[in-house]
Amino acid sequence: MADDNMQPLYLNPEFSPEVRAQDLIARMTLAEKVSQLMDDAPGVDRLGIPPYNWWNEALHGVARAGIATVFPQAIGMAATFNEDLVHQIANVISDEGRAKHHQALREGVHDRYTGLTFWSPNINIFRDPRWGRGQETYGEDPYLTTRLGVQFVRGLQGDDPRYLKTAACAKHYAVHSGPEALRHAFNAEVSQRDLWMTYLPAFKALVKEAKVAGVMGAYNRTNGEACCASPTLLQDILRKNWGFDGYIVSDCCAIEDIYKHHKLVPTPEEAAAMALTAGCNLNCGSTYEHLLAAVGRGLLSERDIDEALTYLFAVRFRLGMFDPEEQVPYAHIPVEVINSPANQALALEAARQSIVLLKNDDNFLPLTKNLKRIAVIGPNADDELVLCGNYAGTPSESITVLDGIRTLVSPTIEVSYAQGCGITEIGQDGFEAALDNARDADVAVVVLGLSQKVEGEEGQQAGLAEDEITQGDRTEIDLPGEQEALLRAVAETGTPVVLVLLNGSSIAINWADEHIPAIIEAWYPGQSGGRAVAEVLFGDTNPGGRLPVTFYKSVDQLPPFEAYDMDGRTYRYFDGEVLYPFGYGLSYTTFETTDLSLSHDYISGLETVHVNCRVRNTGQVAGDEVVQIYLRDEVASFPIPRHSLVGFWRVRLAPGSETHLKFEIQPEQLACVDDSSRWLVEPGDFTVFAGGGQPGTPGVQSARFTITGGGFTLK
């Protein structure tokens, strides 16, 4: 320890965060140490430790902290299939988060949602459309989730060699995707193959590639161990296997669940000791206040507490919280960046790129702007709350679909509105006004879907009226309430109909697919979503989004919700007929993928396979194509995916123009987990597919190579 008359070592930025943390911890009493292990950590005046609340959110914008730029919900960001765009979004979010944090410090505020430790992104796999929090994820595919998650973390954390811009947190680790109502006591039973091939790849990449600063444990158990107190997950895999050196935090009140609901131990002292010694450094909640008594009972040592604190203070040092502001490059971002014109423009562009055109019979869209009367109908047509989804900030202005249409078209065009029905309410009292609205119109834009009423986090009230609470998960995947009846009634008037969906998960719209000429999927598109939808409707924007989830025909096609076996789930393991497949999306132009070639016809199994192809816009208008690369192992000796996404690239092309794209398939992407939980590369034939969708999509090309060696394991 340094001489008390000299500057303490922990205040010297020349030393590493870990050394500084250890020096600071050595000066603290046991009670002071324990106080720092919970999310609302008090200040320690005698050591110059400011109070700090660890809990902050940034899923698709700085959340729950007043005005902020609100981007499309995460599932909408996933639909962009655009890594660069996701990185730009996260960079803006961290700008706004930094500005808000330092403004709060200037005002002496240290409350929740003002800190720099963002508990985002959510990289759980959206394995079942009934899960209410699937909207927070990047969809059902491990590779897409990985690539977008890596870019989001990099955007949040910045690229300074010494300081973090903000600290991202990968959640919920691991094997977590509902049911919401059971999450505090549920045991997710999963095979080692599914664990390693589906549920863990994104977490591994965010730790090893993106160097994420934090990982949040899930509420549930995985194979019997509480995720927030699992030696397997936290020590064996996260720390030892992947070399994670950041902090681990529990989900909020998850440590309490260990003794109250999982009933793994009988007392809070034992639950706290179990979690901390397993590797959970920070308790979102208050169970860790029992650690003092746990030390007294010999359930753990003060050294265990010191180790946990080292991870926590190291992150705070990396954020510059103990250094002069002039030394921290991110401390001077002005508050004027918050929802600035540039950020608003990015939110609009993100919404544009997230929109997926599901159907467009006979080029019904885009609509002409020479219409006389447009009827806008539906419960989501003029609802500002539904634009944002959950874990959202407060936009300075929200543009609903009705607003967007009215702003975009000429004032001489009459735009009328009728709600028709609610999201879930039963009763058709509003039908007549909606039908009167539709009968004399040139076109009816019917805006239906879901909202936080029917999909959200257990107990969620955000995004709802004051007296409402979400139902959490869905039991059915059709349009709820009277919405399909309203759609049918409007169609029966004879007025041409466009269906616009706002939702965070797939919906079985079988009747609409058969009878409505044009369908647009817009997700929860953020503050500018209505403008983006209007631009797509009238052709100012050519839609280029792709589905990050499968749209099934019926809930009857799904395995039981509680089953975590991947068999029969997602495009990788489901072989039935779907409504719209993963990776699907139409355009106002046409594209052609040609000249697919591989760098090798034969490999030993350790080489990188280089994939080349050309893509050309063969239509009459500019547009975005998402070229997708899939891989199929033709002769595996154990269960594997039907095929898997291994590359994608969103490219914008003018009419008649083309570009050459290059992809790489790494040895790790050739491997599968065998029955002994080993990553194994087997000899045999592999097929590569390239084009605008999955294998079987018209125009998708294929090429084959053979692994002549193989039969070995990868570390």
* Beta bridge partner(s), residue 416: 375
State the DSSP H helix or E strand holding residue 638, giving kind and residue range, or none if neither. Answer: none
Annotate 199-231 with b (16+ C-beta within 10 A) or e (fewer). bbbbbbbbbeebbbbbbbbbbbbbbebbbbbbe
CB within 8 A of 219, min separation 6: which ones? 172, 176, 183, 184, 186, 227, 228, 251, 254, 257
- Please tell me the chain's helix, strand, coil percentages from 3-state DSSP, rounded to the nearest 5: 30, 20, 50
Annotate 441-471 with b (16+ C-beta within 10 A) or e (fewer). bbbbbbbbbbbbbbbbbbebebbbeeeeebb
Tell me the DSSP string of 163-212: --SSB-EEEEESS----GGGTTT-EE---HHHIIIIISHHHHHHHHTS--
β-strands 609-617, 591-598 pairing: antiparallel
Q: Annotated catalytic residue: which of 83, 136, 141, 251? A: 251
- Residue 640's nearest CA partner among 79, 196, 157, 183 is 196
Give CA–CA dist 130/135, Å, rounded. Answer: 10
Give CA–CA dist 337/713, Å, rounded. Answer: 49
CB within 8 A of 182, min separation 6: which ones? 220, 562
Q: Annotated catalytic residue: which of 180, 194, 457, 458? A: 458
Read off the tokens for 499: 């269906």
Going through 295-377 in order, the beta strands assigned E by DSSP cover 356-360, 373-377
Q: Is 180 a catalytic residue?
A: no
Q: Is 251 a catalytic residue?
A: yes
Q: Is the peptide bond before 201 cis (omega within 30 degrees of 0)?
A: no
β-strands 497-502, 518-521 pairing: parallel
Q: Is the peptide bond before 174 cis (omega within 30 degrees of 0)?
A: yes
- Residue 586's nearest CA partner among 355, 351, 350 is 355
CB hemisphere CA count around 355 (13 angstroms): 33
Give CA–CA dist 577/163, Å, rounded. Answer: 50
Q: What is the amino acid identity at position 216?
A: M
**Catalytic residue list:** 251, 458
